[in-house]
Amino acid sequence: MNKELIEFVTQLVSNENLLMHEPMKNHTTFRVGGEAEYFVKLPDVQAFCALIKRFSEEGIPFFVLGNGSNILVGDKGIPGFVLDTSAFLTDITVEGERITAQAGALLSKVANTAKAQALAGMEFASGIPGTIGGAIVMNAGAYDGEMAFVVESVTVVDANGVIRTLSNEEMQFGYRTSILKKEAYYVLSTVLKLQTGERAQIEEKMADFAARRREKQPLEYPSAGSTFKRPEGHFAGKLIMDAGLRGFRIGGAQVSEKHCGFVINVGGSSAADIVDLMDEVRERVEKQFGVTLEPEVIRVGDF
């Protein structure tokens, strides 16, 4: 990177918020991945918008990071800049039945804020280890709930650094997708419209979901959650189990014995191990059942 660009970045974020050769395994729930060439802890929305505009204009590669809970970073790392929203862009405010949350706010914290205010609708998200920004991009969901059900509007910045607000309808939510998968928009914040409820009932529902997660999911191992999307008319985990792949392992990557829909890092896994395992699982399931599994995990960087 040229000196003038680096000076531009440091003027916006300060020297201590710009890291070089940052190991991405420290910023993903899979706990694998090479280094980010430059890792930026975004201090505010103004810096976020200015950097998006400059990088887009000059064709500088960048990736916007939340909690790293649904990505797989390549062993060769990420060229250009990683823009981390989880360091400072974490404000959560409540007004009546609406919660406004910045992109880097953890879903669990938003759900707990809703619970504290006796607001129902975010219980499903209490155990998802992601940020609001990432959850909106992929329309995250669990236990018959999803972001599309609670999002009223989303404020984004486009590639020109222009801030705009999109309605729920304009977000084009679908199963694990939204308009943000197609357009160069980056989440700044969202307004969630919830409903007044009974705090005890909300707590009970969240506790039930948490118990189910502990019972059925391999939470003790690094992973990116559900590895594959749900194929129409099937369940990915059952197809993988029926293909005889429970516990199947390549290197440090393994199909979870507890829930076959999860690929886990049992220790010392590389990104290459995980990719090879996912590819083998897809091939065997397609060969045996004629069903093509589509990854839910997003690959980022160089492999």
What pLDDT was estimated at residue 1?
75
Q: Which of 53, 84, 115 is the last residue of a domain?
A: 84
Residue 147 lies inside a defined structural domain of this protein: yes
Q: What percent of the chain is modeled with pLDDT above 70?
A: 100
List of residues 6+ apart from 186 with CB closer than 8 A: 48, 52, 64, 103, 133, 156, 157, 158, 180
Q: How far is C-alpha 147 from the geometric centre of its chain's CA atoms?
A: 13
| Total domains in the fold of the chain | 3
Residue 262 lies inside a defined structural domain of this protein: yes
Kindly state whether residues 195 and 128 are assigned to the same domain: yes
Residue 12 lies inside a defined structural domain of this protein: yes
Residue type, 264: I
CATH number of residue 17's parent domain: 3.30.43.10
Cα-Cα-Cα-Cα dihedral sign, residues 108, 114, 117, 119: negative
Kindly state whether residues 57 and 108 are assigned to the same domain: no
Question: Domain range holding 276?
Answer: 219-300
Arithmetic mean of pLDDT, 2-16: 95
How far apart, in Å, are the Cα atoms of 93 and each of 109, 130, 298? 12, 18, 30
DSSP state of 267: S
Q: pLDDT tens digit string along 181-200?
A: 999 999 999 999 999 999 99
Q: What is the pTM of this model?
A: 0.93
Residue 214 lies inside a defined structural domain of this protein: no
Are 31 and 25 in contact, with CB atoms under 8 Å apart? yes
Kindly state whether residues 190 and 96 are assigned to the same domain: yes
Kindly state whether residues 233 and 283 are assigned to the same domain: yes
Assess whether pLDDT exceeds 90 at residue 144. Answer: no
**Residues labelled as active-site residues:** 176, 226, 296
> What does the mean pLDDT of the chain come to?
96
Higher-confidence residue: 288 or 143? 288
| Cα–Cα dist 54/37, whole Å | 17
Are 213 and 219 in contact, with CB atoms under 8 Å apart? yes
Kindly state whether residues 225 and 196 are assigned to the same domain: no
Residue 105 lies inside a defined structural domain of this protein: yes
H-type helices in 103-153, by residue range?
Answer: 107-116, 132-138
Q: Which of 32, 64, 84 is the last residue of a domain?
A: 84
Arithmetic mean of pLDDT, 200-218: 95
